[in-house]
Amino acid sequence: MKLRHALPVCCGILLSLTLSACTTNETKGSTNSPIPATTPVSQSLTNPSSAPATAVSMPADNAIEILFKDIVTQVGLPASPVTSSTFSWLSSNGSASTVSGEVLTLANLTAGQISLINYYFQDNEFIADPNNIGNGTITGKEGYLKDNLVCLETKNGGGPYTATISCGNLP
């Protein structure tokens, strides 16, 4: 009889500890402090443990690098070095523009981590662009737009996944 009453108590304690751990982990990466200018962005993105605990150094006006740093923090996995790239963006009239920008690649992602990337864009007021979306069973792409900044996330694999996020300003 006593064991039957102990089970709900144990479950409640475990749930409380789990929620506490999740809340602590969510707030660790966020900060309102200024961004220090000491660690190169490519080093910080490929080896997050080398970055300062509060932020990665980068020019404060570089929205794409800040966005990539936030996504790497959200997903919790190391990333490839950020490189320059061009990608195609379809407009509402069907014409394609070549966008110059930067690309970030994340490998060995779970479906949940892919969802975190999508939630990041939604939570930061990006609008899903219906002209730049296409999903299949193994590959897919999602386009996001915020002001003049566009991002195209392509993913492939049946799990684990690889995601490539290309961002740039519309010409």
* 141 found inside a domain: yes
In a domain, 13, yes or no: no
- Model confidence over 108-159: pLDDT tens digits? 999 999 999 999 999 999 999 999 999 887 889 999 999 999 999 999 988 8
pTM for the model: 0.63
Residue 91 structural domain: 52-169
Q: Considering the domain boundaries, does residue 72 fall inside one?
A: yes
**Is the residue at 105 inside a domain?**
yes
Question: pLDDT-based confidence at 45, cuts 50/70/90?
Answer: very low
Give domain status of residue 40, yes or no.
no
Q: Is residue 148 part of a domain?
A: yes
Q: What are the tens digits of pLDDT across the range 59-100?
A: 434 889 899 999 999 899 888 899 999 999 999 888 999 999
Q: What sign results for the dihedral spanned by CA atoms 105, 109, 114, 116?
A: negative
Question: How many domains would you assign to the chain?
Answer: 1
Is 36 a domain residue? Answer: no
Quick check: is 38 in a domain? no
Cβ atoms of 58 and 51 within 8 Å: the answer is no
Cis peptide before 160 (omega within 30 of 0): yes
